[in-house]
Amino acid sequence: MLNLLFRRLAALIVISVVLIACQGPAEQTPTPSFPSPTETPIKTPPQVLTPSPQEQNSPTPGSPLVLLVAPETAELSLVNELEAILAELAAAEDVRFETVSTLSTGQLTSDVVLVVAVPPDPGLQEIAVAEPGIQFLGINIPGLETNANLSAIGPDGGRPDQLGFLAGYTAAVATPEWRVGALTVSDSAGGIAVRDGFLNGVVFFCGLCQQIYPPYNQYPLYLELPADASSNEWQSAADALITQAVETIYVAPGAEQEELLTHLATAGVNIIGNQPPPQSAQNRWVASIGVDFAEALRTAWPELIAGMPVGQLSARPEIYAANSDLLSPGRQMAVEAILPDLQTGYIDTGVGQDGPDTSP
């Protein structure tokens, strides 16, 4: 029995050895190999050199030149507005742009193609005659006679009656019971046109303009003085309107002395003018009524830069520097809604085109 067990055990050992021998060496999983960092070259994308905005917009030296003539006494707000617009327009055309304070024929080199000037007049009429190869544009300079190389935007191309009408309409919209008045210049056709336009603008909005509560006055009221009236005379005229319970006064061109504006603000009267408000009157400034020279300049630019005149352009009246505490955004929108019809003449100011209507 013992011998039988030994024989079976020996047989199992032999079988096990045979099986192990048949299997062969165990398969080994290959270890992945990675190239060292220096073996793979780093590909650098090509560099694209993009010019800065200044380089992209900088005109080439010797390119055409546009000049803005802005004397030291020019209205700063107008100069700033025109500088921004001309710089933008010039950059789009690869044209250089500069602002100068004086103008003479000696400054006008062969690369100057357009000269834009603002008041006071640097003698644009005479210089344009002497330089027929250059286009000139006068903005808000009175008395210019346009020709083949001289164009003009307002005031001769504008409408004083429309400015007055817009001021009167704005005053009526902004003032309870339409207790409004105006201080105007009596000895110029433009001053009379502004006055009549103002009166008609008020009536256009409020009709009979009757009050519910006293005092009962026939608004709108106005007082006028010559352009050379003194500051004291203007202040006395203002006081006369204030005693008639006028709450908003339009101070027309020619009467806009800072002493007068300060006097009105101190008296608690709201003001409409044709200039940006001085610091002393800002809290009583309803709005400024002016001319949209920016829009007119953009309209004229393509022809002027191409060397062609545009003649006499009329600029659209506009309302700006509005005080939302005295003229709410909704009321301002109501005023601005009439501007297209006013400019096209669909709304008649009631002032004759051959001259202001001064009949009672």
At 140 the pLDDT is 86
For residues 7 and 10, what is the distance between their CA atoms, to the nearest angstrom? 5
- Is pLDDT above 90 for 194? yes
For residues 98 and 309, what is the distance between their CA atoms, to the nearest angstrom? 21
Peptide bond into 220 cis (omega under 30): yes
- Is pLDDT above 50 for 87? yes
Residues 6+ apart with CB under 8 A from 289: 163, 166, 167, 170, 272, 273, 274, 317, 318, 319
Tell me the mean pLDDT in the region 58-80. 84
Tell me the mean pLDDT in the region 300-317. 92
Residue 183 confidence class, pLDDT cut points 50, 70, 90 = very high
Tell me the mean pLDDT in the region 244-254. 95
pTM for the whole structure? 0.68
The three-state secondary structure class of 222 is strand
For the chain, the structural domain boundaries read 61-153, 160-291+328-344
The amino acid sitting at 228 is D
Better-scored residue on pLDDT, 157 or 228: 228
Instruction: Single out the residue of 113, 109, 66 nearest to residue 88, CA to CA.
Output: 66
Do 185 and 252 contact (CB within 8 A), yes or no? yes
- Is pLDDT above 80 for 43? no
Across all residues in the chain, what is the average pLDDT?
84
Residues 6+ apart with CB under 8 A from 141: 117, 118, 119, 121, 124, 152
**Same topology between domain 61-153 and domain 160-291+328-344:** yes
At 149 the pLDDT is 96
Structure tokens at 106: 């000696």
Residue 247 confidence class, pLDDT cut points 50, 70, 90 = very high
At 82 the pLDDT is 94
Residue 96 confidence class, pLDDT cut points 50, 70, 90 = very high
In the chain, alpha helices (H): 2-23, 53-57, 76-92, 124-130, 160-174, 189-206, 231-242, 258-266, 293-305, 329-336, 339-344
The three-state secondary structure class of 22 is helix
Tell me the mean pLDDT in the region 223-245. 95
- The CATH homologous superfamily for domain 160-291+328-344 is Response regulator (3.40.50.2300)
Report CA dihedral (157, 113, 77, 229) to the nearest 10 degrees.
Answer: -50
In 209-282, alpha helices (H): 231-242, 258-266
Work out the angle at residue 139's Cα, subtended by the Cα atoms of residues 155 and 65, and round it to the nearest 5 degrees: 165
Tell me the mean pLDDT in the region 27-51. 43
The amino acid sitting at 216 is Y
Which of 131-140, 222-231, 349-358 is least confident? 349-358
- Is pLDDT above 70 for 16? no
Better-scored residue on pLDDT, 24 or 127: 127
Residue 106 confidence class, pLDDT cut points 50, 70, 90 = confident
At 53 the pLDDT is 41
At 201 the pLDDT is 97
Which of 49-58, 196-205, 270-279 is least confident? 49-58
CATH no. for 61-153: 3.40.50.2300
- R_g of the chain, CA atoms, integer Å: 40
At 70 the pLDDT is 94
